[in-house]
Structure 1
Amino acid sequence: MKMQNTERKKEIIAEAKKVTYVEAARWGKHRGWRYVLGLVVIFFVGLVVNGITVPRVAFLLGGQEALAAINRLDYAALGLVGGFVAFRASFLFFLAGILIAVPLIHQRHPRTLVTAREKISWRRVGHGFVAWFVPVWLIAGLGQYFFYPDTFSFNFDLTTFALFVPIALIVVAIQTTTEELFFRGYIVQGASIVWSNRVFLALVPAVIFALAHLLNPEASAGGWLTVFINYFLVPGLVWTVVSLIDGTTELAIGVHFANNIGGNLLMGVAGSAVTGSAVTAPTLFTVSKFHATYTALSMLVVVPVFLAIAYKVFKPDGVSEPISQSYRHERR
């Protein structure tokens, strides 16, 4: 009996390893028009409902002055915490749109945007966080200090920083997880209905991710080099390829959070999209000038170090059982 159980466990693990989150796109109801409708729902909640709700909440909390600040996009007028949250409020609504669209339109669990298994491996998410946080902030962050020390300023305020940290952790986690569920999850799954070719699946979210960030201040300051390396190549293409190889978006979720939380707590560039063009997060260090060439070239070193840590230092977890076959409905 024990031998039979062992063999059964091996069969389950083998099956689970073969099933990826991309294949989960074909579970539930998955005709192409459903993905189009899903995008409509996500953007309606993320843009329209957000646009109606946030100004009203601002008015309730801060009166006419807060409402006027929201209308003119002057988030700094709402204060450090209020401005930081309001600047990223749309991500909460986009997340709500995703959590509505997947179960309602596709009739499958939102977890399938992350993994095809019964449970998300938070350990693997942690692997992604560490594997990216260490090289990016040592090479791209500390390395920048050695080359451009005059642009760095230390502005630590213990009271402000201590109050800001828990808020930043929650808000940034919502922001980065939402982006991963959308770009690496929903977009990749929708694209796989059109064509399952992995090169195609890697390029589609990379292009869309880069286009979505063209209005960021860094894109204007860094030009084509920043757009290509810092948006299209990394994170757009690299993080997607890693997700396709892993068969889950767990690593990418951890990586994205590590990238952005460092920019909000450790080192921020004045006027950047990470800290907020109108809201400066109380980072430990502030860089007065965005060094596009160094930042872009440092990514060419960060990526291989990240891959070495993610796949050589850390090992993928043993997998849980694949999701029940009851999720796999016919195409409708």
Structure 2
Amino acid sequence: MYITQVFNVLHDWWRYIVGVIIAIIGVVIFSMPHMIAIGVETAIGNVDLSQMQDTNYMMSLFDPNLNLVFVLLPFAGGLLALLLAVKYLHKQSITHLTTTRKKIDWKRFWFIFFIWGIVSSGIVLLDYYMAPEDYELNFQLVPFLMLCVIAILLVPLQTSFEEYLFRGYLMQGIGVLVKNKWVPLILTSLVFGLLHIANPEVDKLGSVIMVYYIGTGLFLGIMTLMDEGLELSLGFHAANNLFTALLVTADWTAFQTHSVLKDLSDPSEMGIEEIFVPVFVVFPILLFILSKKYNWTNWKDKLLGNIVEPPTEDYKILEEL
């Protein structure tokens, strides 16, 4: 039903291409403050032009909190542009894009938000307890409080943009085009993972980290299709990025923040199990727990089944559902 309900709105293939272009334009427009700031620093001689390709160097130009704003703002612009495209280009409501339920189920969002927030934070704290030499205390009260405000306001916009774009807009758009569920599930997971290839983590950890990114996209896509909505993927993604930004940072990660802890470990020494365990152990366990809580059934059809356009007279029924 999550994909099928799109037949009830304007769903021509070209509209999805235009919608993606509009979202990209939103990202570019909201990237301008960062570009302007770099231009000002360059004009006053504070930038070594020979190091412009060095991500760590570019991030060192500004305070971590300001850097975080610059990193997250484009996602906020992309989200705004995407939702405007959905509303005016497709005549689709945000609720309709989010879920098959009559209204967005925030209980689902907060359930997995706190579950994953506790689990992910617990993993970091356990690692800190077992290997304290790999960390240093990075806590500074005022910068941390500023970080909290920035992260709480902007991180959910960043994660929501990615979820609405990949698990929502593209999942639905590709689904109605190819008339099945497995193609949009695989494609959106692959593209989601590959778009992270520019992250600093990839340079340090190698291409094997793509297993984690693509696997995470697949996990979020499975949740969306099985639960017939984005609430769970929105909550998980927001918790994952928010708690990480607040709790731990490192010189080789995309989020370099005034977090509580700083990871000093050598990323090249990270074991392959640290990448594979979340994807092949932790995520399946979470799916099992969620399936029991929300009574998921008919996995094969929901993940691999065909999409059949309902008769015209059934559109109103779909809308009411």
- Report if TM-score (shorter chain) is over 0.5: yes
Aligned to 2:13: 32
CA deviation map 1:178-199 (0-9, x unaligned): 1100111111011102223222
Residue of 32, 52, 65 corresponding to 1:81: 65
Aligned to 1:244: 225
Q: Aligned pair 1:185/2:168, yes or no? A: yes
Local SS of the residue matching 2:63: helix
CA deviation map 1:157-216 (0-9, x unaligned): 223222321221111011011110011111101110222322222101111011101111
Residue of 2, 6, 30 corresponding to 1:50: 30
Q: Aligned pair 1:90/2:74, yes or no? A: yes
Aligned to 1:281: 257
The separation in 1 between residues aligned to 2:88 and 2:210, in whole angstroms, is 35
Aligned to 1:319: none
Q: What letter is aligned with 1:231?
A: Y
Aligned to 2:276: 297
Aligned to 1:125: 109
Q: Say if 1:66 and 1:77, in contact at 8 Å, map to a contact too.
A: no
Aligned to 1:6: none
Q: Where does structure 2 lack aligned partners over 5 or more consecutive residues?
A: 296-314
Q: Say if 2:138 and 2:260, in contact at 8 Å, map to a contact too.
A: yes
Which runs of structure 2 are paired with 1:1-332 in the superposition (5 Å)? Answer: 20-47=1-28, 49-52=29-32, 55=35, 58=37, 64-65=40-41, 74-139=58-123, 141-145=124-128, 148-228=131-211, 230-233=212-215, 235-273=216-254, 275=255, 280-289=256-265, 290=267, 291=270, 293-299=272-278, 300-312=280-292, 314-315=293-294, 325=316
RMSD: 2.8
Q: Say if 2:247 and 2:260, in contact at 8 Å, map to a contact too.
A: yes
The separation in 2 between residues aligned to 1:247 and 1:119, in whole angstroms, is 12
Tell me: CA distance 1:237–1:65, structure 2 relative to 1, closer, same or farther (3 Å): same
TM-score normalised to structure 2 length: 0.80
Tell me: CA distance 1:144–1:53, structure 2 relative to 1, closer, same or farther (3 Å): closer
TM-score normalised to structure 1 length: 0.77
The separation in 2 between residues aligned to 1:124 and 1:204, in whole angstroms, is 25
The separation in 2 between residues aligned to 1:286 and 1:309, in whole angstroms, is 32
The separation in 2 between residues aligned to 1:137 and 1:298, in whole angstroms, is 16
Name the % identity: 26
Higher relative CO (Cα under 8 Å, sequence separation at least 6) belongs to: 1
Local SS of the residue matching 2:136: strand
Local SS of the residue matching 1:78: coil
The separation in 1 between residues aligned to 2:231 and 2:96, in whole angstroms, is 11
Local SS of the residue matching 1:248: coil
Aligned to 2:308: none
Q: Say if 2:13 and 2:173, in contact at 8 Å, map to a contact too.
A: yes
Tell me: CA distance 1:143–1:51, structure 2 relative to 1, closer, same or farther (3 Å): closer
CA deviation map 1:45-84 (0-9, x unaligned): 222x23446545x59xxx9349878996834433233221
Q: What letter is aligned with 1:208?
A: V
Aligned pair count reads: 288
